[in-house]
Structure 1
Amino acid sequence: MVAVKGNQPKLFAQLKALPWAQVPVGDQTRDTGHGRKETRTVKAITIQTPGGLGFPHVQQAVRITRTHTIKGRTTRETAYLTVSLPAEQAQPTDLGAWARSEWHIENRLHYVRDVTLREDAHQTRTGNGPTVFATLRNTPIGYHRTNGATNIAEATRRANRRPHDLIDAVTRRNPTTQ
């Protein structure tokens, strides 16, 4: 499953131009919480010809529309995705759940890397550097989550004040939680 955004203008335009109005709603979920109401609608189209969108291995095109209502103000957001699985293996219910789990990963890992560890401000862009630094950033996030931290920024500040605790935990034969 690949999300298609404006940085792929040709594919994005192709997906947006598909006959979505004629496609029945495959799945719809409604959630409330945190002072908002959210409705997610999933539509999926099987791509008939191999390479029909000019993107390798696409079996289905997906449109997910998210409608948020917060304090009486409603906003709508549409996301387009391509899927390499045929409809028999990836129903709209599955597609909606998978897309949502991707946002869960985005919020739990990438947001922490971007905001807490300032990944976007880093200058390493070539060779193995980006992969090495991503691994170095993932290590404390995983360490803190394993030790039950829910706020990685707070756990990082606490660890910065007690570096010997981290060294002991990493070098101890039977690590314990903080």
Structure 2
Amino acid sequence: MPWAQIPVGHQSRDRGHGRRETRTVKAVTVNTPGGILFPHARQAVRITRTRTATGKTSRETAYLTISLPAAGAHPADLQDWIRREWLIENLVHHVRDVTFREDLHQARTGTGPAVLATLRNTAIGYHHTTGETNIARATRRANRRPHDLIRAVTSSNPRTQ
């Protein structure tokens, strides 16, 4: 795509936690015959995030295709949707990768990966419902006190410590 010639559709700036972020969204309607080899793609989107923290600047660019026409998905909406998706990534997938070391796991065939992902999601969900914000700490506590966890899951009046 000729991204340099496509105008910026939306830009936002945020400050917080000792960093500055600028997010820029460019979106273009895909009208070429044959499309861009993505079935049902109506728009191509580029989101660039520039972050400056402790004097260091980094840039991350994400490319997406979406099936909504420009009238149904304005650049500001796209940015909001993508930020929400990244929030989910941070809340669940990051915990699975870092706390449970999911990327290092050797289960690669059959239903093993899906079963283990379900167990990890269940553990994360359980800890969230009990008010835990640090899943790693809650998991270590549950490992040291498995009877508390079994009692909480099987009891009709669950309590956690």
Q: Tell me if TM exceeds 0.5.
A: yes
CA shift, 1:51, in A, is: 4.5
Tell me the equivalent position of 1:113.
96
Q: Could you state the TM-score of these two structures normalised by the residue count of structure 2? A: 0.93
Match of 1:27 in 2: 10
The C-alpha deviation readout for 1:80-129, integer Å capped at 9, x for no partner, is 11111111111111111111112111111111111111111211112221
SS in structure 2 of the partner of residue 88 of structure 1: helix
User: Aligned pair 1:81/2:100, yes or no?
Assistant: no
- Alignment check: 8 A CA contact 1:27 1:42 kept: yes
Aligned residues: 161
Q: 1:140 Cα deviation (Å)? A: 0.8
Secondary structure in structure 2 of the residue aligned to 1:29: strand
Unaligned ranges ≥5, structure 2: none
Task: Note if 1:157 corresponds to 2:129.
Answer: no
Q: Deviations over 1:18-61 (max 9, x none)?
A: 12222221111111111110000001000014651111111110
Q: Match for 1:71 among 41, 46, 54?
A: 54
Match of residue 116 from structure 2: 133
Distance 1:51 1:129, change over 3 A: farther
TM-score when normalising by structure 1: 0.85
- Equivalent in 81, 84, 103 of residue 98 of structure 1: 81
For structure 1, list consecutive stretches of 5 or more residues without a partner in the other structure. 1-17
Identity %: 71
Q: What is the 5 A alignment of 1:143-154?
A: 143-154=126-137
The Cα of 1:137 is off from its aligned counterpart by: 0.8
Query: C-alpha displacement at 1:177, in angstroms?
Result: 5.0
Q: Is the 8 A contact 2:50 2:57 kept in 1?
A: yes
Is contact 1:27-1:92 (8 Å) kept?
A: yes
Whichever residue aligns with residue 158 of structure 1, its letter is R
Deviations 1:138-171 (A, max 9, x none): 1110000111111100000111111111111111
RMSD: 1.4
Q: Which amino acid aligns with 1:46?
A: T
Q: Which one scores higher on RCO, CA 8 angstroms, separation ≥ 6?
A: 1
SS at match of 2:71: coil
SS in 2 for 1:74: strand
8 A Cα contact 1:51 1:58, kept in partner: no
